[in-house]
Amino acid sequence: MPVTQYAVQNVNSLEMLSDWTTTPSEATDWAVECESHETQPEVRIVTRELVQITQIAGVKPGDIMLKRLPGQQEFTELGRVVEITQNSKGRTSAVTDRAIPEFGNRYTQRAFSAFRLFRVVR
């Protein structure tokens, strides 16, 4: 089942002015706050959809991967997949452009089975 995230973006510069949230009213509150700022930027609420992936075969280079721990609402962005590799034992890994302190930047099928991993689909 897809998860929709919302954020506030400056219309002119395309700069993201807020973090992503799964709560539409939170994004609306951020937009109102941004518009009332002294610089009064023109803003819009943007969305993206995430789908949970359970198999490493569900990702490809260019995908943005995120994780969410069970029982939590927040997502941690793991980075953009830059390549899919296979080691000498035949284990496939998704390698991201960003290393996360507790995970590094290489995700095997074991990680896909242990965590709730998502990718941005739109």
Q: Are residues 69 and 29 in the same domain?
A: no
In the chain, the number of structural domains is 2
Angle at alpha carbon of residue 102, lines to 122 and 54, rounded to 5°: 40
Q: Are residues 59 and 81 in the same domain?
A: yes
For residue 82, the one-letter residue type is V
| pLDDT digits 0-9 by tens, 59-116 | 889 999 888 877 777 888 888 999 998 888 888 888 999 888 777 888 888 877 777 8
Handedness of CA 88, 94, 100, 103 (dihedral sign): negative
pLDDT at 119 over 70: yes
Tokens of 114: 């242990």
Contact 86, 92 (CB under 8 A): yes
Q: Are residues 77 and 110 in the same domain?
A: yes
